[in-house]
A and B are shown apart, each in its own frame.
Chain A
Amino acid sequence: MSDVDSAESINDPAEHLPKYCDFFKHLLVEELVLEPDYRQIHYGKCAVIGRLCAIPDYFKLENVTVPHLPSDYRLPTGAVSLLLLNFTYDSPSVESLAHAGYCIVRGEVVLCNVQKPNSPTLTTRGLHEQLLQLGNNEQLRSALLEKVQQTHRPALSVWHTNRIDQAEELIQRRLEIRLLCKDSISWGQ
């Protein structure tokens, strides 16, 4: 935070690793699913609004149209979906949720190996650390990135869900609030 700290740590590669987000940041399904560079994916807690989609084997969270976005960036509801982990109808926090119901899902973003189910999940930070171990070998680094991008998909490890009715309204306001808050970060530092 202070000037002294930042000056000292400038050469420490660990400083460039993403910091764990310790609050439930409001994200869009699109932001997690459509990010091509896995190093840029949110690391930590988040809250995502979407439509629950129950497929026989697993659960997914579909995106919801954001009505106020310019039409070029607007996706119809259900165009993309995010894999949900640790989600069952039995968990106590799930109240009267059903297929195609709108909900807020809170949890942690992970990278899930979709080719080998039940293998340990990776996080954005874990990916950064693996890349760091490879040092400056660009070839190995890009090979690793490519491999991870083939086998892994972003997923949400679910901690809590809330059922809601007016998903579009809430998404729109949460995006506006993120803008208000961003101002403060750039202003304060």
Chain B
Amino acid sequence: MTSPTSEDIEDQLDNFIIRKPREQVNTYAAARKETKDGQQIHEHIPLLVNDILGSSPDPDDKGVFTVFNPTTLKYRTCLVYGFVAGRGVHNKSFYKYIIDDGTGTMEFSIYVKPKESELIKRLYNEANSLVGTAGLQYERVSASMVRLLGKALEYIDGSVILPGNNVLLYGRPNRFRDKNVFDVISFTVDNEKSRKLEIAFNDNLIDYYQSHGAT
């Protein structure tokens, strides 16, 4: 009793199974440096909050924005320095705060990195337990491990930011409900009295604006 159809079970199965197209493998593609019409896309440019709020998304290239001050140019990522004026509504994946640099206010969100912070916390605890117990020869190594890991945690844990702090942010603008918000890629908290970071950033920004100013 061998019918020709039962031999090829796959043909039979095809009637019952909907084959989904295999998900396309995300291959790494370097961020393009030019838009489709050949304009340069800038990265890491220092900007004022007011100008980030005023920039508009490029319709053809995702993630690319056009800024109009100091001059009209396309950019993907930028740097901004300011005062944390308040907290937004945190959620499971993002810490949200308000940044104010004296030219405007904007919400920024920092992605919660659960895996990274858990890993670093574990290593931190491990190093910490070594400080007292391991012999003298490891004492200094483990102490500096603790310091390093503690510092590393500061740079990835967005919950350490408090209203009233000053932050330097690197990230990209994002259009959300007709308003520009800021997705942070990395950040530094600057609470030193000297404000060396703020002064240095401002110098850089003033230079940049003046050298690109529309004349």
Q: A23-B102, A170-B198 are in contact. Are A184 and B206 (CB under 8 A)?
A: no
Q: Which one of B68, B83, B194, B199 contacts A106 once the chains associate, using CB atoms below 8 Å?
A: B83
**B50 touches which one: A24, A163, A173, A184 (CB < 8 A)?**
A184
Chain B residues near A47: list those with CB within 8 A: 83, 102
CA distance A181 to B103 in the complex (A): 7
B139 at the interface (CB under 8 A from A): no
Is there contact, CB below 8 Å, between B103 and A23? yes
CB-based nearest B residue for A184:
B69
B68 — nearest CB in chain A belongs to which residue?
A188
Q: Size of chain A's interface in residues, with CB distance under 8 A?
A: 27
| Assembly CA distance A53 to B194 (angstroms) | 20
Q: Does residue A132 face the partner (Cβ distance < 8 Å to B)?
A: no
Contact indicator per residue, chain B 175-215, by CB within 8 Å of chain A (1) or not (0): 00000000000000000011100110011011001100110
Q: Tell me the bound Cα distance from A47 to B105 in angstroms.
A: 13
| Pick from A23, A162, A173: contact of B203, CB under 8 Å | A173
Contacts of B206 in A (CB 8 A): 173, 176-177, 180
Residues of B within 8 A of A (CB): 48-51, 54, 68-70, 83, 85, 100, 102-105, 164, 166, 193-195, 198-199, 202-203, 205-206, 209-210, 213-214
Which residue of A22, A178, A188 contacts B105 across the interface (Cβ within 8 Å)?
A: A22
| 15 A-B residue pairs with CB within 8 Å | A22-B105, A24-B83, A25-B102, A47-B102, A162-B166, A164-B193, A165-B195, A166-B199, A169-B195, A177-B103, A180-B206, A180-B210, A181-B51, A184-B48, A184-B54
A174 on the interface (CB 8 Å rule)? yes
Q: A23-B102, A163-B193 are in contact. List 12 more A-B contacts (CB 8 A).
A: A22-B105, A23-B85, A23-B103, A24-B102, A93-B164, A162-B164, A165-B195, A169-B195, A173-B199, A184-B70, A187-B214, A188-B54
Chain B interface, >50% SS class: mixed
Q: For residues 139 through 189 of chain A, which have their beta carbon under 8 Å from a beta carbon of chain B?
A: 160, 162-166, 169-170, 173-174, 176-178, 180-181, 183-184, 187-188
Which residues of A come within 8 Å of B, CB atoms? 22-26, 47, 93, 106, 160, 162-166, 169-170, 173-174, 176-178, 180-181, 183-184, 187-188
Knowing A24-B85, A25-B102, A188-B69 are in contact, say whether A181-B199 is a contact too (CB < 8 A): no
A-B pairs, 5 with minimum CB distance:
A184-B69, A173-B202, A26-B102, A23-B105, A181-B103
Nearest Cβ in chain B — how far from A174, in angstroms?
Answer: 6
Residue of A nearest to B192 (CB): A165
Report the Cα distance A23→B84, complex, angstroms. 11
Cβ of A164 and Cβ of B51 under 8 Å apart?
no
Given contacts A23-B105, A24-B83, A106-B83, contact A181 B50 (CB under 8 A): yes
CA distance A93 to B213 in the complex (A): 38
Distance of A60 Cα from B51 Cα, bound (Å):
34
CA distance A47 to B124 in the complex (A): 39
Of A93, A163, A180, most buried by chain B (CB within 10 Å of CB) is A180
Q: Is the CB–CB distance between A181 and B70 below 8 Å? A: no
Q: Which residue of B lies closest to A161 (CB)?
A: B164
Most chain-B Cβ atoms within 10 A of its Cβ — which of A24, A174, A183? A24
What B residues does A164 contact at CB under 8 A? 193-195
Report the bound CA distance from A169 to B50 in whole Å: 22
